[in-house]
Amino acid sequence: MIRFDSVGMRYGSGPEVLRDITFELAPGSFHFLTGPSGAGKSSLLRLLYLAHRPSRGLVTLFDKDISSLSRPELSLLRRRIGVVFQDFRLIDHLSTLDNVALPLRLAGAREDQIREHVSELLRWVGLGDHLEARPPTLSGGQQQRVAIARAVINRPSLLLADEPTGNVDDRIGTRLLHLFEELNRLGTTIVIATHNEALIERFNHPRLHLQGGHLDRLPPGAKPY
């Protein structure tokens, strides 16, 4: 599913923010991505969702070397990746339902199927009464749940989430992690960047830990030193 081999990444002519990153993730695996602020978590996610190319090394996604792909090929690959951004990136003039429906419409799904599936998922995340609400009228936690619903609605092959429980209480955070686990059981590979140690301990998945631009793989239950 994912392979990094001696990968480095920098922005412009600045110093490398990621150095000698080497790891592989099997299809259907579930990992937390951890590390202190500034360790490079968001940069690693940017490489994974193809928003940035490495400055050196090899990145392979879905058995494809991303350095050899054209823009149209990269665009097709991105359709297999769901992303939950910290800033949500919702479209303000669209309703909650229409924001979540975007990936399904891009994939050519029928409108009756779209409304049924989107409505069901929004009810599950506690937003069944907000189908027609616009993002500016929602709280930060509600917007976050809309962004998560949009990322998972078409069952992506790879789901990347940057602090997906940062704006919700523990009850909703736990429910969202159960949603990610259900998606994982259906075959989606999951990588969740988080600082929430309580959730990490409760769900007991292995972690990728970044420190100073370097990465360590830790088994379930292990804590970085």
User: What integer pLDDT is reported at residue 49 of this predicted model?
Assistant: 93
- CA–chain centroid gap for 69, Å, is 22
Phi-psi region of 35 (alpha: psi -120 to 50; beta: other; left: phi over 0): left
Average pLDDT taken over every residue of the chain: 91
Q: Is the pTM of this model over 0.85?
A: yes
Section 128-135 average pLDDT: 95
Phi, psi of 111 (to 5 degrees): -65, -35
User: What integer pLDDT is reported at residue 1 of this predicted model?
Assistant: 87
- Tell me the pLDDT tens digit for each residue of 24-45: 999 999 999 999 988 899 999 9
User: What integer pLDDT is reported at residue 38 of this predicted model?
Assistant: 85
